[in-house]
Structure 1
């Protein structure tokens, strides 16, 4: 811990202490790719570009109430919320906020919690509904939270809220709206207070379905889970289409050709380029077929594991909670790592696929083993590190350029791994069962397809994830090249930032597996002079350093959101 704080203090000193350098107004060009406007490919598909703020957040333009604004794309949660123009406190933003003029309030507030028990953050505001959409697809009367108070960092990272693309059962909004609805219906289902424990990762809190327990079977005093007394109904499952998240409601309303979305994440630090930042809705990415992907089933949670109770009419149904897939092993620099001894041995190894997580999170003892193999908390930036995850019999490596971030400003002698510790899985329906959370460093290296399947009857079309590794064979050599270029320059690995574009990127080439590629920075080209007629094309180096400090703070000390 002392080493972590020393690294943070040193970087802070290098940024804020060098006033002369900051005052010189040095600039880095914001390399752009050619874009085209979003067009509807057919009646049930759409595509839109993803923004990237220093590889910390990836956002997408979402239209709510006639206003388009970038929201964080988050597969680790399922709630839609946007900061409203009624926000109180520090709500200065360079992005549009939600105007309340068309907001239809539901008569209740929501308090959404993130972080952990020591560094929890929150978003608070009224629940209501309005028209919402992405690209050419939209739905009427979409429930969301118009946030008026938050201490999250979304505004600082170029977004105005969060678009959760997870399943309805982990949606705080869905549970609260459903609970309020059931409280007015016979038999005597009693509404409970909206209290959710602070989660210990950047995902949503582990959901509670206690409100589905008949009132006459609830014990007095401390609640003890009685699995047999929890019951769902067709009405509960049908509410997915009424109160559920935006993407799942599009599926329930048959707006999509297929119940699938696919993402590829671009790289805005170290070596700008890589995969095109793109979100495809209702289809895979252009040029990618199902056969090219490795498809992996999701973990389904039984009632005993804390999952959503099935309807009485179809008791065989078992529902997923999050985008969680089985995993066989973890490899680092050719060494197969030991399984964590901190997790219960009867829980199978699995990982959450989380676009809202800027790091790779794992068990404390395994992360410590990786650090011991590295040799210290930091390593030579020019030395490629190879972390791979074995899934469905295949190795999916993390690109060495995405495994690291620069530790000290103006020096590429030391880099830190994009790793953090996460909580261990828990038995008995008290927590999620995954031991790893594979965030953006993994997802920049893997094209990912999220197949929802049949939301109400998953046995008929099971949910699954498709993966396609996109790491080029020369990734390690490319890392060495960009580090050498930084040493010959100002000592900083290149970085840039661009909020969500209004259209898809027009790729001029394809990479591994035929994945569309972003226009890469040409290292032999000298930096362009600032263009005062288009200042938005450039971002000041000092400003990027400040944002990078936020990133390092997150990496060393805090969960993301």
Structure 2
């Protein structure tokens, strides 16, 4: 007879975007590639939605939005490396702590002048995707929040009811006194943003529920200060789904806790990102959304990321235009970032492509040009559909598009690591297996 936890984990939950066991999550296995069987369907589906991207409503690339996106991405992973250094004592080989990038005042004014509207739940897609979020609840009284599910970070934070300044005015807030299961913890959560402000606040432990999967005593921050740049987003907070070695809280992530407490039937979660009906599936995979086997690759967990090695990139004219790359898959990143020289080589292989002068690191290409960019890790070539490669038009003529692969050293000048975001993930079914430390991809149905 099924126990209560098994019954709960066998429910299907639609949310558009998904101990020895945890000890194994931090091992560094040798690279292994090959197809894997479909997981049994015993998980929960969480409907997630996308938010506005780098183009305006007229389809033209917004340079200011792009600059903000680059700055926020660099600073996010700078914080991750600071957290890693704090918990591990040294940085992973080839990684460094990048200087904090400041957000220029004019960009901050632009950002704060274009507030993004909150979506209702079930969540629907907006034009021009960027990040993916959905609903969770915290506490005995099920306080609800709109959350960004981010495989590229490892902390959970939401605004606190004690945040009374304007940056929190549009956010839902956690009231610890309203939850009988709330427990105050020692320490303070604090991260700095490029606009000179911080996200900070006390740490609590409380019950957290994502699409019917509930854990107890989950550590998170209830922030009393929000940066202006974060205040303009459509989400209330972030739920990190990386490894806890990146955590500022120094505590297990929600999914690690769920696995340890036995409330998920399988130690894996999956993402399906689409203009309609996106989903985060927790506790397995949803076989209705992909076809064929899942091609799994061993994760090098030493940096705390979902990182796989020995990758290559191909285009129709060159089967291996870039090779020997490490790849971090990050659902909290819009674009694909790679070392500038490698990205320059890639775009040089695309007929008609050239540097986009308005923003360093970006490239433009004829919108009618077939790109055919694919990633491979020794198995199948995973193609990025051409429609996902454009972040917008250069101007109203509609002739040239700005590409979604950007030259930017995110992790260090000597690191061959690429940061692969939604531009790639939208073209595959992505499976993150914590139990085996593997990352898998499957063909979309």
With normalisation by structure 1, the TM-score equals 0.52
Query: Could you tell me which residue of structure 2 aligns to residue 255 of structure 1?
Result: 263
Query: Could you tell me which residue of structure 1 aligns to residue 333 of structure 2?
Result: 357
State the shift of 1:74 in Å: 0.6
Distance 1:76 1:58 in 2: 13
Distance 2:197 2:370 in 1: 35
Q: Pick one of 124, 132, 139 that aligns with 2:215.
A: 139
Query: Could you tell me which residue of structure 1 aligns to residue 425 of structure 2?
Result: 443
Q: Pick one of 148, 159, 172 that aligns with 1:83.
A: 159
Query: Could you tell me which residue of structure 2 aligns to residue 9 of structure 1?
Result: none
Distance 1:52 1:288, change over 3 A: closer
- Deviations along 1:285-325, whole A, 9 cap, x unmatched? 14368962111110143xxxxx7xxxxxxxxxxxxx21001
State the shift of 1:58 in Å: 0.4
Distance 2:443 2:278 in 1: 15
State the shift of 1:331 in Å: 1.7
- Deviations along 1:436-472, whole A, 9 cap, x unmatched? 011011011111010001xxxxxxxx310110133xx
User: Are 2:161 and 1:96 aligned?
Assistant: no
Aligned residue for 1:383, secondary structure, equals coil
Aligned residue for 2:218, secondary structure, equals strand
User: Are 2:311 and 1:328 aligned?
Assistant: yes
Distance 1:37 1:144, change over 3 A: closer
Distance 1:409 1:298, change over 3 A: same
Shifted more, 122-131 versus 372-381: the winner is: 372-381
Q: Pick one of 31, 44, 47 that aligns with 2:45.
A: 47
Query: Could you tell me which residue of structure 2 aligns to residue 25 of structure 1?
Result: none
State the shift of 1:99 in Å: 2.7
- Deviations along 1:249-292, whole A, 9 cap, x unmatched? 0000111111000111113xxxxx4xx30111111014368962
What is the root-mean-square deviation of aligned Cα atoms in Å?
3.0
Distance 1:434 1:277, change over 3 A: farther
Contact 2:13 2:211 in 1 (8 A): no
Distance 1:99 1:147 in 2: 11
Query: Could you tell me which residue of structure 2 aligns to residue 397 of structure 1?
Result: 383
Distance 1:445 1:130, change over 3 A: same
Query: Could you tell me which residue of structure 2 aligns to residue 415 of structure 1?
Result: 401
Query: Could you tell me which residue of structure 2 aligns to residue 58 of structure 1?
Result: 132
Aligned residue for 2:167, secondary structure, equals coil
Q: Pick one of 362, 369, 381 that aligns with 1:383.
A: 369
- Deviations along 1:202-247, whole A, 9 cap, x unmatched? xxxxxxxxxxxxxxxxxxxxxxxxxxxxxxxxxxxxxxxxx31111
User: Are 2:258 and 1:173 aligned?
Assistant: no
With normalisation by structure 2, the TM-score equals 0.65
Aligned residue for 1:416, secondary structure, equals strand
Structure 1 stretches of 5 or more lacking a match? 1-35, 175-242, 268-272, 302-306, 308-320, 341-347, 454-461, 471-513, 515-561
State the shift of 1:338 in Å: 4.8
Distance 2:162 2:134 in 1: 22
After TM superposition, where is structure 1 displaced by more than 3 Å over at least 4 residues in a row? 36-39, 92-95, 119-122, 152-155, 288-291, 336-340, 370-373, 407-411, 424-427
Shifted more, 145-154 versus 355-364: the winner is: 145-154
Distance 2:168 2:193 in 1: 21
State the shift of 1:92 in Å: 4.8
Distance 1:451 1:290, change over 3 A: farther
Query: Could you tell me which residue of structure 1 aligns to residue 81 of structure 2?
Result: none
State the shift of 1:104 in Å: 2.8
User: Are 2:187 and 1:108 aligned?
Assistant: yes
Distance 1:43 1:443 in 2: 21
State the shift of 1:390 in Å: 1.4
Q: Rg larger in 1 or in 2?
A: 1
Contact 1:360 1:437 in 2 (8 A): yes
Query: Could you tell me which residue of structure 2 aligns to residue 22 of structure 1?
Result: none
Distance 1:425 1:83 in 2: 29
Query: Could you tell me which residue of structure 1 aligns to residue 293 of structure 2?
Result: 292
Shifted more, 101-110 versus 360-369: the winner is: 101-110
User: Are 2:440 and 1:366 aligned?
Assistant: no
State the shift of 1:113 in Å: 4.4
Contact 2:199 2:227 in 1 (8 A): yes
Distance 1:363 1:137, change over 3 A: same
Structure 2 stretches of 5 or more lacking a match? 1-11, 16-39, 53-128, 357-363
State the shift of 1:145 in Å: 0.7
State how many pairs are aligned.
Answer: 319
Contact 1:261 1:281 in 2 (8 A): yes
Contact 1:72 1:154 in 2 (8 A): no
Distance 1:401 1:266 in 2: 12
